[in-house]
Chain A
Amino acid sequence: NAGVTQTPKFRVLKTGQSMTLLCAQDMNHEYMYWYRQDPGMGLRLIHYSVGEGTTAKGEVPDGYNVSRLKKQNFLLGLESAAPSQTSVYFCASRTVRGGANTEAFFGQGTRLTVV
């Protein structure tokens, strides 16, 4: 069972470069999320999607864009990377079948360093 898979696992970018993080889930989940994790700040929501073709802003969306062209994939883009975007990025997915208390399943994370 693959669950939630994030690609790549590590990346180093130079300031101003762009990149895309890919999240893929094989559980047919409706909701998908991108979080960033920084020391002492827990996980903060960047963007999320409640279904194919829809996206919405989370708590810290500036500098990021997302797309959900297929139900199983959720892409996070950095248009012009900045050192402040150095972080560990987590993707998560969850289903709405069974109610809103369903758990979120997380990927293994992508460690991004912007120099």
Chain B
Amino acid sequence: AQSVTQPDIHITVSEGASLELRCNYSYGATPYLFWYVQSPGQGLQLLLKYFSGDTLVQGIKGFEAEFKRSQSSFNLRKPSVHWSDAAEYFCAVGARAAGNKLTFGGGTRVLVKP
């Protein structure tokens, strides 16, 4: 069975500083990997996804993520955060089996200090 671990429950970062969110996955084959963002009271919005090819993927809002097979990781980064990046971020792994179910990590809540 697939699983996702996000080790950091909360991260506080100053506006303008860089941000890195960690994600480790467990899956028996090449995974499909996703990062979603959830603003307060909102649904989830896709930031980026990886399924094959270049291991560094670019997403919306200036985010990028790097797939490292040897480390079973898919960490999300942003060079310079904005106050509007305060939200909860979820990493997810997609199964290629029937149902293409997404399994989510526990989430990382990002707080941005002015």
Residues on A lying within 8 angstroms of B by beta carbon are 4, 31, 33, 35, 40-45, 48, 50, 56, 58, 90, 92, 94, 96, 99-104, 106-109
Interchain CB contact under 8 A, A33 and B101: yes
Residues on B lying within 8 angstroms of A by beta carbon are 4, 6, 9, 32, 34, 36, 41-46, 49, 51, 90, 94, 96, 98-107
Which residues of A lie under 8 Å from residue B6 when comparing CB positions? 42
Kindly state the separation between the CA atoms of A48 and B100 in the bound complex, as whole angstroms.
Answer: 10
Q: What distance in Å separates the Cβ of B21 from its nearest Cβ neighbour in chain A?
A: 13
Q: What distance in Å separates the Cβ of A86 from its nearest Cβ neighbour in chain B?
A: 17
Which residues of B lie under 8 Å from residue A99 when comparing CB positions? 51
Nearest neighbor of B45 in chain A, beta-carbon distance: A106
Interchain CB contact under 8 A, B98 and A50: yes
Nearest neighbor of A59 in chain B, beta-carbon distance: B103
Q: What distance in Å separates the Cβ of B97 from its nearest Cβ neighbour in chain A?
A: 9
Q: What distance in Å separates the Cβ of A2 from its nearest Cβ neighbour in chain B?
A: 13
Kindly state the separation between the CA atoms of A41 and B4 in the bound complex, as whole angstroms.
Answer: 11
Q: What distance in Å separates the Cβ of A38 from its nearest Cβ neighbour in chain B?
A: 10
Which residues of A lie under 8 Å from residue B4 when comparing CB positions? 42
Nearest neighbor of A91 in chain B, beta-carbon distance: B43
Given pairs A42-B107, A94-B100, A106-B43, 9 additional interface contacts (CB within 8 A): A40-B107, A43-B90, A43-B104, A48-B99, A50-B99, A100-B94, A101-B51, A107-B43, A109-B41
